[in-house]
Structure formats: structure tokens, C-alpha cells
Amino acid sequence: MTSRPFEFQVAATCNRARAGAMETPHGSVPTPAFMPVATQGSVKGLLPQEVRDLGATVILSNTYHLYLRPGIDYIEKAGGLHAFMGWNGPLLTDSGGFQVFSMGSLTRLSDQGVTFRSHIDGGLHGFTPEEAVRYQERLGVDIMMCLDQCIAANEGDGRIKEAMDRTHGWAVRCRETWNSPHQALFGIVQGGISKGLREESTRFITGLDFPGHAVGGLAVGETKAQMYDMVSYMDQLLPRDKPRYLMGVGSPEDLVQCVARGMDLFDCALPTRVARNGALFTPAGRVGITASRFKGTTGPVVEGCDCYTCRNFSISYLHHLFKAKELLGLRLASIHNLRFVQRLMEEMRSKILDGTFESYAQDFLAAYKPTSESVRMAQKERWLEMRTGS
């Protein structure tokens, strides 16, 4: 590891799409970039070197989960999160704000911070904004996130503004606590799908002079059209000389749409989560590997795909593994989906650099069939109801 500070430069643009690079103490991150999610210090089922070989240059872990198990002290004594999990590249940690949101009735919020019941043993814990930053500093990660209050899109402007104002107060305290010049701290813009609130939040957060900015509070119940509209608006508001991180977005079509709208950095558990449930990405959309039509089918999941799975196994073999409930199937599907997403990011970057991104994006979106919007919204609504206990 070197002692170089965090830096970001935009190398090229194609309309609003941007290709750049983030420099961190643990290496460079070409952007646009997708971060595989290692919530508890591991990308589920995969070795760190496998994740690197798939094209990932930065991964995301979660302060809330690591705080609960195995504990910040434990990881710090092990030499920090990089050494503990065997990853030598850049690391970003979420502060835990989304986990607080997702636990619903298990949490209590105040301007001071958040208290919550552990999902592991029911023990009572608390995070203040100051502690969220100190914990991340002790983990030794390259990019840290401010503690924020995430809120569902359907909560109404009054509650969304209350959460935004609290996020602003916490951001000030995070900024004052930040004391590690070689770890970048990103501020988070909130405001739901209200353009007025988003403008107010962007003005406040960017005024605190963070090295980078995240767009939070999207992909939490709004329609895709609403999300895309808000991302387009954020492109008009955010500084152009600092990285833009769109939190929690990872569907292939969303990555293309939001790179086209000026975003640089993304994360989501979706590629590996759906892989473990037998859904594999193809240029035409997701396919369910357990479908009977794949029994005995020759050839790979995607012709020409350079992932280990497609280079070595047939789609019928993956079908067999999933039907037999073999763990190898989960690994091979995860490898394929993560490589699909990383290759997508690489191709978008290349097309931005050579000025052909717009035609590339049009062709990709014309061929790729997303999951049904009505099905997706129904699933999100069920999740929100479970979260709140209603």
C-alpha cells in the first residue's frame, strides 16, 4: 500500500456518460465501475482472487454487519479489513444506513444517532455519526460513507424531508470527525423523488466539500422511470470533478441507463443473489436455469462469454447442478453473473473513450429484456411490508 491520497479525474465524456479513474491507497479504479458486495467480508461463495479475475477493481463491505460480527476491534487487531479478508485492492464500506432502514421496527432513530436490536442475538446497540466514521477509519478502508437515513420513496415528502434534514446534520458531524487524510469520505444526497428536496440536499452536501458524493434513497420503491428521471436531475446538480456513486443499483439495464445519465460508481447484491436463485444474465435478459428446456441443451449460457463458467461448462450441466442442489451451481452462476456485469462496465468505459457509447447503449437496451416492472414493484412492496411489520 502507498500513502497516496484519494484522487479522481474524468478522462472522457460521451454526452453525459463519463469515463474516469479513482486513485486510492490500494490502487486505481477505472470508472464507470461496479462494486461486488462483500457484506460480511466476502463475496458469497467466491475467493478474492476469483473476484479480481472477474474484473472487479473495488468491492464493498458493510460496517454494520462487521461491527456486529466479528467486531471492529477484532478486525483492527487482524491488520484491518484488507488483511482480514485477503483483498489487496480498493475497499469501500457502507456506514450501515441502509441496514438500519431495512430492519424497520428493530431500529429507533433520533438526531443523536440510531439504536437497533442485533438481528443475530437481539442485543441493543447504537451508532452515532461520529462512531460510524471512526469504525470505518479503524477498518482501514479506502472510501467511507457518512451515516445517513434512508427512507422509502412512498413515505411522503414530509417524512422524506425529515430524513433528509437528519442526514444533513449527521453529515456535518461525520465531516468534523473524519481525521484520516488517506481515506476518502463520501457525503450522501437524499430527498426521495422530489426534485426540490434533491436540489436542497445536493446544495447542502456538496457545500461540505467531500471528496465524492453518493446518491442514496433510490431503488427503494419508486418506478424505474422515476429513478431514471431523478438520476438525470442529479447529473445536473452534482459537481463534475468528483465521483458520483449511485447506491444499491445493479441490474444490467439500470447500469447502462445510469451510466448514460452521468453516474460513475455502483453496487448491488443483485447479480450474486439472483445467481444463487438460478437466474443468469444474458444479452437478451435473465434466464431461469432450472427451466426444463435447458435439460440436455448443449453450449454455454452465453456464446462467446469469457467467464470460467461459459468456457468450461454447458448450460445443461448448470441446470443439473441446480436441480441436484449442488453448491457448485451457485458458484458457477455467481461467476457468470459477476463477469457479465464487469464486462458490461468495461465495454461501456471503452465506448465512452472512443465516442460510441450512445449507439452501444441503444443496442444493448434494445436487446435486453428487463424483469417485469409489475413483478419487480410487487416484490419491493412485499419487502417493504415485511420490513415494517405491516
253-278, pLDDT tens digit by residue?
Answer: 999 999 999 999 999 999 999 999 99
Around Cβ 295, how many Cβ atoms within 10 Å?
Answer: 12
* Residue 378 reports pLDDT greater than 70: no
Say yes or no: 322 and 223 in one domain. no
The active-site residue, picked from 53, 73, 94, 306, is 94
Give domain status of residue 373, yes or no: no
Which one of 225, 247, 268 terminates a domain? Answer: 268
Q: Both 180 and 47 in a single domain? A: yes
- C-alpha to C-alpha distance for 325 and 54, rounded to whole angstroms: 24
Residues of the chain above pLDDT 90, percent: 87
For position 105, what pLDDT does the model report?
A: 67
Least confident of 200-204, 255-259, 283-287, 376-380: 376-380
305/225 same-domain check: no
pLDDT at residue 323 is higher than 90: yes
Mean pLDDT of the region 195-212: 98
Looking at the fold, whether 191 and 315 belong to one and the same domain comes out as no
Cell numbers linked to 141? 478502508
Mean pLDDT score, 150-171: 94
What is the residue range of 323's domain?
Answer: 275-355
Q: Indicate whether 114 and 147 sit together in one domain.
A: yes
Confidence band, pLDDT 50/70/90 cuts, at residue 119: confident
Q: Tell me which residue has cell 479489513.
A: 81
Q: Is the pLDDT assigned to residue 92 strictly greater than 90? A: yes
Task: Tell me if 60 is assigned to some domain.
Answer: yes
Distance of alpha carbon 233 from alpha carbon 222, whole angstroms: 15
Residue tagged active-site, from 148, 235, 264, 267? 267
**∠ Cα 154 103 333 (to 5°):** 95
Of residues 296 and 307, the one with the higher pLDDT is 307
63-83 per-position pLDDT tens digit: 999 999 999 999 999 999 999
Domain membership of residue 301 (yes or no) is yes
187 phi, psi to nearest 5 deg: -85, 155
Confidence of residue 381 (pLDDT cuts 50, 70, 90): low
The pLDDT-based confidence of 245 (bands split at 50, 70, 90) is very high
Q: Are residues 181 and 299 in the same domain?
A: no
Residues 113 and 228 in one domain: yes
pLDDT classification of 13: cutoffs 50, 70, 90: very high
In this model, does residue 366 exceed pLDDT 50? yes
Mean pLDDT calculated for residue range 249-254:
98
pLDDT at 154: 85
Considering the domain architecture, whether residues 223 and 280 belong to the same structural domain is answered as no
Q: Is residue 381 part of a domain?
A: no
Give me the pLDDT at residue 376, please.
63
- Which region among 66-80, 168-182, 230-244, 376-390 has the lowest average model confidence (pLDDT)? 376-390
Residue 251: name the closest of 117, 390, 149, 373 by CA. Answer: 373
> Which residue stretches of the chain are H helix?
48-53, 63-68, 72-77, 81-85, 97-103, 129-139, 157-177, 195-206, 224-237, 252-259, 270-276, 308-312, 315-323, 327-354, 357-367, 373-388
CA dist., res. 375 & res. 338, Å (int): 23
Give the residue from 280, 300, 297 showing the smallest Cα distance to 288. Answer: 280
Over pLDDT 70: what percentage of the chain? 94
Check pLDDT > 70 for residue 388. no
Print burial letters for 297-319: b (CB count within 10 Å at least 16), e (below 16). Answer: eeebbbeebebbbbeebbbebbb
Domains identified in the chain, total number: 2
Q: Is residue 42 part of a domain?
A: yes
DSSP string covering 76-129: HHTT-HHHHHT--S-EEEE-SHHHHHHHGGGEEE-SS-EEEE-TTT--EEEE-H
Sign for the pseudo-dihedral over CA of 119, 120, 124, 125: negative
267 belongs to the catalytic site: yes
Do residues 283 and 252 share a domain?
A: no
Identify the pLDDT of residue 98. 78
Confidence band for 386, pLDDT divided at 50, 70 and 90: low
User: Is 94 one of the catalytic residues?
Assistant: yes
pLDDT band at residue 36 under the 50/70/90 scheme = very high
Secondary structure (3-state) at 209:
coil
Cα-Cα-Cα-Cα torsion 260, 217, 11, 137, nearest 10 degrees, comes to -160
State how far the Cα of 28 lies from the Cα of 4, in Å rounded to an integer.
11
Compute the radius of gyration of the chain from its Cα atoms. 20
φ, ψ (nearest 5 deg) of residue 182: -105, 10
Please tell me the predicted confidence (pLDDT) of residue 2: 43
